Structure 1
Amino acid sequence: MPPIIMILGLLFVALFVLVTVLEKYGKKRSDEELSQISRFIFPLVGIVLLAQLLYMLFR
């Protein structure tokens, strides 16, 4: 079996286990907490994209 298929299989199993455990034992968050967290998502994604672009240009 090619190694890439084994890696993808392991990642899928790990993701499945992680999601089920987090759904069972995870803390429920209020809408206010989620809105505070979500307002940082787009700036962080932009910073990461800019950093990756600069890395690719000056590599």
Structure 2
Amino acid sequence: MEVLILLAVLFGALFVIVPLIERSKLRISNQDAAKWARWIWPLVMIALIIQLIMMIMRG
């Protein structure tokens, strides 16, 4: 039952947030997007390593 509630909340948030984002005037240039994309994979790897260490430490 909790999974269904969680899915309902997530889909409800999508139905609200996506139209708001589409109407916003915020646009990101290709250069800015490339700068952000350069940092995403290293940050994901760092987060995964930290999670692995935390899992090992817990037992």
Which TM-score applies when normalising by structure 1? 0.86
Give the length in aligned residue pairs: 58
Cα deviations by residue, 1:2-34 (Å, 9 ceiling, x for unpaired): 232122101111122112111111511110010
In 1, Cα distance between equivalents of 2:10 and 2:22:
18
Superposition RMSD in Å? 1.2
| Contiguous gaps of at least 5 residues in structure 2 | none
Alignment map for 1:37-48 (pairs within 5 Å): 37-48=36-47
> Shift in Å at residue 56 of structure 1?
0.6
For the pair 1:16 / 2:15, whether they are aligned, the reply is: yes
In 2, Cα distance between equivalents of 1:28 and 1:17:
19
| Contiguous gaps of at least 5 residues in structure 1 | none
Q: Which residue of 2 aligns with 1:57?
A: 56
Q: Percent identity?
A: 36
**Distance of aligned partners of 1:19 and 1:26 in 2 relative to their CA distance in 1, 3 Å threshold:** farther
